[in-house]
Structure 1
Amino acid sequence: MMLVGDGARLVDVAGDRTLAGEELAAEVAASGARLAELPAGVLFARMSVDLASVLRYLGAFESGRAVALIDPALDADVLAGLVARFRPAAVLAAPDGDVPDGYTARDGDWVRDSAEGVVPHPDLAVLLPTSGSTGNPKLVRLSRQAVLANAEAIAEVLGIDAEEVAPTSLPLHYSYGLSVLNSHLLRGATVVVEPSGVLGRGFWDAVNEHKCTSLAGVPYHYEMLRRLKFDPEKYPSLRTLTQAGGKLRNDLVAEFNDKIRAAGGQMFVMYGQTEAAPRMTTVPSDRLAEKLGSAGPALPGGSFVIKRDDGEETTHPKIVGEVVYRGPNVMMGYAENEAELAEGDVMGGVLSTGDLGYLDEDGFLFITGRLKRIGKVFGNRVSLDDLEQAARSAGVGIDVVAAVPAGDKVVLFAEGVDKDTCKAAARALSERLHLHTSGFDVRPIDTVPLLASGKIDYRTLEGQV
């Protein structure tokens, strides 16, 4: 199965150009041919929201060249660490600045000097970094089959066909944004490539001009759209809203569901992880109001069980435990270095999500928390431990700090500091992770509470959020 289906179109708003049919196929093939000339090894592609980035990705995918999709705003030191650990054949659309040892700048890329490199496993297609903007991210290894299976399942439950027109409302290095691209191209639909995002004026001009039919957003987007008094009636072609990237509060789900239904459309709430390529559930739009708070049933081809504290798995309703997913879209495993790129599938289609939750009597999943210390900032997964370290190393005078998740932001309690120090810390975290400062709520606290073991009492702090 090819990723780019018959009839698929790419509309490049910035370049005022549309690629379709034989012309699109030729551009994708030409991209693949250029990539084939590079040395052996994985490719690193810095994925901006532009036509060139999309064609590089499609050229790699369709030609069987494993490609890691990299945030173009990733800190230079983190990128340098990834290059050192994985020795990519090339860094495509390389940043300005010093070229790493062993690489040569060529036509805007960094190309490895040595022809010697680890050949990735033949099933490996796409690699996406885990949360790690503040540390050393691992790469999630996704097979071609996993990517295609997930794109097909999403297209099925959302009813995507050749008439759909989706704008690029999310970054393309982000698994949710990539899944929008994949699921539409697979079904021969249209993707409108527009870089300014949901809060940009140019984006909404493009929605109207190109008659976009759907909008994908994370909770932060819906919070902002509410403040902006978004009215789907102003965009007659828009008939589908989708939400993933973290839990949107129930009142906003209800509000936007009511708005889009009043305009004759529908809303879908989804749940996933990068490790699942990335979607695992979708709440059917006609049951959204009835199942507020739910992540929905598993996608076609997938299933859930709940792992209890005693290690036993169950599907009985209302029993809370770790959510375990099985499906064809589960990753092959992680890679922490170049050698691991050659490994095969070590997961067997089973993903222990690290999320706590339960199933109801209809098989709808409800997420209640996290086993591990991961938070989300505007849909971006971040390590809470990494955030604490970043706050301590920011040079603003914070030594003792505890981070806890709080919906679509993170609260950090800083011991013995004033409010100005807290503001400075929030700015530092914002600059480091390239996310808006409002996502980091840094609060002063007299003493960070500890457990008898001397470890931070995070549960008490979570009760203060």
Structure 2
Amino acid sequence: MTLLGVGARLIDVTSGRTLEGEELDTEVTRVGAALSLLPPGALFARMSVDLSSVLNYLGAFEAGRAIALIDPALDADVLAGLIERFRPAAVLSAPDASAPEGYGVSDGHWVRESAEGVEPHPHLAVLLPTSGSTGNPKLVRLSRGAVYANADAIAEVLGIDRHEIAPTSLPLHYSYGLSVLNSHLVRGATVVIEPSGVLGRGFWDAVNEHKVTSLAGVPYHYEMLRRLKFDPAKYPTLRTLTQAGGKLRDDLVAQFNDKIREVGGRMFVMYGQTEAAPRMTTVPAERLAEKLGSAGPALPGGSFAIRREDGSETTHPKIVGEVVYRGPNVMMGYAEDEAGLAAGDEYGGVLATGDLGYLDEDGFLYITGRLKRIGKVFGNRVSLDDLEHAVRSASVGIDVVAAVPAGDKVVLFAELPEGDGAKAICKDAAKALSERLHLHTSGFDVRPIDTVPLLASGKIDYRSLEAQV
């Protein structure tokens, strides 16, 4: 089981280097052999958008080494906590800071000095944190089979073949960005590694120079492209748009669908979770206008059911409940610490998503809300409880705060007396969250409120706050 299909190619814009065919296979094998010599345990890889990060990932996958993909901008204290809990064999592309106790420095990596460590389960391939840069994240355990099955299913529904050329428009530690890489390489397509992203100066030059055929984005990207008056006619080879990472407004889906169809292209809207490696649905491009607001049918090999409050499941149309997904791409489970890496498959291909929704007569899924306290900021999953804690501990003058999801951002209601002083404090809180999560301040709408509403139990009345968003 390999991610490198016949014809797979990597183009690194920064160095001008292209790897394909035997040269790519040799380089991935070389990196994998070096990683195999490291002590037992999972590898941590700080995944910048660069060639070395991609080769570390592919080398580990091909060599059978479990690898956790870490945001290179992750707060030092959060990274330290992960290292303490999981005792990785090495931290690849380590920070410039001093290595933690028990680790030495070798070729830019932190390598564990002790040869004693828990051997990960032999099926375990990829580990992804659950909550970005906040709190005390668990690691999602994805098997080789799950990663491969999802890459293959995505490639099938999007029609990816060796003629497709995709850019790294998303971070590689982010499950959606990783799936773009996987789904193209597995079908022998090309991935253009360009670090500046959709809003960067060099990105669109690379799109034209390397004849890029597709673009993947989260709702924030499409909001920005709308403001920049994006015109696909300026990029003759770009004919496929894909969107996931949160719900994009229906009017923008229609707008971008119209734009790309005018030049003979297509747009796909998708739904997924990291726990599903990560995608579960794709709306067929030819039905997107007809099914606005839908997440689409399940990917090949997958299926949906709706779980009622009594625990029973149904596939009857229009019944709202928790969305349950079944498929070969479902995670093995979560890991809280090093010992959890050795566990086998605890989910059996069944994922209770925590999302509320319903199916229509054609089996298309519609998401209507969330069961759990999770929000998304520009496609990045964040714990709302952790955001509240971060605001309270930011020393900006906020003691009582309640966070609620609001599409592709989070609204935080801060208990403060109204006035200019309150507005300044709210701006400081948004800035503190932006700096902590390395996301733009516009993703955090901090608002003053006289009194945060409470339920009779004394708990915050989040539902009434959501009604004010």
TM-score band by shorter chain is over 0.9
Q: 3-state SS of the aligned residue for 2:369?
A: strand
For residue 452 of structure 1, what is the aligned residue in structure 2? Answer: 456
Give the whole-Å Cα distance in 1 for the aligned partners of 2:132 and 2:183.
Answer: 26
For residue 189 of structure 1, what is the aligned residue in structure 2? Answer: 189
Give the whole-Å Cα distance in 2 for the aligned partners of 1:133 and 1:189.
Answer: 32
Q: 3-state SS of the aligned residue for 1:212?
A: coil
Give the whole-Å Cα distance in 1 for the aligned partners of 2:350 and 2:75.
Answer: 32
Q: How does 1:123-272 map to 2 (within 5 A)?
A: 123-272=123-272
Letter in 2 for 1:334: Y
Deviates more, 1:24-33 or 1:132-141: 132-141
Give the whole-Å Cα distance in 2 for the aligned partners of 1:201 and 1:111.
Answer: 36
Give the whole-Å Cα distance in 1 for the aligned partners of 2:42 and 2:58.
Answer: 15
Letter in 1 for 2:167: P
Deviates more, 1:408-417 or 1:314-323: 408-417
Q: 3-state SS of the aligned residue for 1:334?
A: strand
Q: 3-state SS of the aligned residue for 1:24?
A: helix
For residue 422 of structure 1, what is the aligned residue in structure 2? Answer: 426
Give the whole-Å Cα distance in 2 for the aligned partners of 1:397 and 1:384.
Answer: 19
Cα offset, 1:242, TM superposition: 0.1
Q: Which runs of 5+ in 2 are unaligned?
A: none
Q: 3-state SS of the aligned residue for 1:122?
A: coil
Q: Does 1:441 align with 2:452?
A: no
Give the whole-Å Cα distance in 2 for the aligned partners of 1:307 and 1:24.
Answer: 46
Give the whole-Å Cα distance in 2 for the aligned partners of 1:449 and 1:439.
Answer: 23
Q: How does 1:47-66 map to 2 (within 5 A)?
A: 47-66=47-66
For residue 367 of structure 2, what is the aligned residue in structure 1? Answer: 367
Q: 3-state SS of the aligned residue for 1:105?
A: strand
Q: Deviations over 1:174-226 (max 9, x none)?
A: 00000000000000000000000000110000000000000000000000000
Cα offset, 1:68, TM superposition: 0.3
Q: 3-state SS of the aligned residue for 2:291?
A: coil
Q: Deviations over 1:141-174 (max 9, x none)?
A: 0000000000000000000000000000000000
For residue 462 of structure 1, what is the aligned residue in structure 2? Answer: 466
Give the whole-Å Cα distance in 2 for the aligned partners of 1:395 and 1:433.
Answer: 17
Q: Does 1:330 align with 2:330?
A: yes
Q: 3-state SS of the aligned residue for 2:181?
A: helix
Give the whole-Å Cα distance in 1 for the aligned partners of 2:41 and 2:468.
Answer: 48
For residue 98 of structure 1, what is the aligned residue in structure 2? Answer: 98
Letter in 2 for 1:430: S
Letter in 2 for 1:342: A
Cα offset, 1:98, TM superposition: 2.2
For residue 341 of structure 2, what is the aligned residue in structure 1? Answer: 341
User: What is the aligned length?
Assistant: 465
Give the whole-Å Cα distance in 2 for the aligned partners of 1:106 and 1:151.
Answer: 33
Q: Give the TM-score normalised by structure 2.
A: 0.99
Letter in 1 for 2:13: V
Tell me if structure 1 keeps the 8 A contact 2:11–2:191.
Answer: yes
For residue 394 of structure 1, what is the aligned residue in structure 2? Answer: 394
Give the whole-Å Cα distance in 1 for the aligned partners of 2:245 and 2:290.
Answer: 21
Q: 3-state SS of the aligned residue for 2:26?
A: helix
Give the whole-Å Cα distance in 2 for the aligned partners of 1:377 and 1:132.
Answer: 10
Give the whole-Å Cα distance in 1 for the aligned partners of 2:309 and 2:36.
Answer: 49
Q: Deviations over 1:219-258 (max 9, x none)?
A: 0000000000000000000010000000000000000000
Tell me if structure 1 keeps the 8 A contact 2:415–2:450.
Answer: yes
Q: 3-state SS of the aligned residue for 1:170?
A: coil
For residue 28 of structure 1, what is the aligned residue in structure 2? Answer: 28
Cα offset, 1:95, TM superposition: 0.3
Cα offset, 1:132, TM superposition: 4.7
For residue 408 of structure 2, what is the aligned residue in structure 1? Answer: 408
Q: Deviations over 1:85-105 (max 9, x none)?
A: 000000000001121110001
Q: Deviations over 1:49-73 (max 9, x none)?
A: 0000000000000010100000000
For residue 75 of structure 2, what is the aligned residue in structure 1? Answer: 75
Q: Deviations over 1:323-351 (max 9, x none)?
A: 00000000000000001100100000000
Give the whole-Å Cα distance in 2 for the aligned partners of 1:179 and 1:196.
Answer: 19
Q: 3-state SS of the aligned residue for 1:226?
A: helix
Q: Deviations over 1:357-402 (max 9, x none)?
A: 0000000000000000100000000000000000000000000000
Cα offset, 1:134, TM superposition: 2.0
Give the whole-Å Cα distance in 1 for the aligned partners of 2:58 and 2:281.
Answer: 25
Segments ≥4 residues shifted beyond 3 Å: none
Give the whole-Å Cα distance in 2 for the aligned partners of 1:150 and 1:134.
Answer: 27
What is the identity percentage for the equivalent residue pairs of Structure 1 and Structure 2? 83
Tell me if structure 1 keeps the 8 A contact 2:132–2:380.
Answer: no
Q: Give the TM-score normalised by structure 1.
A: 1.00
Cα offset, 1:110, TM superposition: 0.3
Give the whole-Å Cα distance in 1 for the aligned partners of 2:425 and 2:2.
Answer: 53
Q: Which runs of 5+ in 1 are unaligned?
A: none
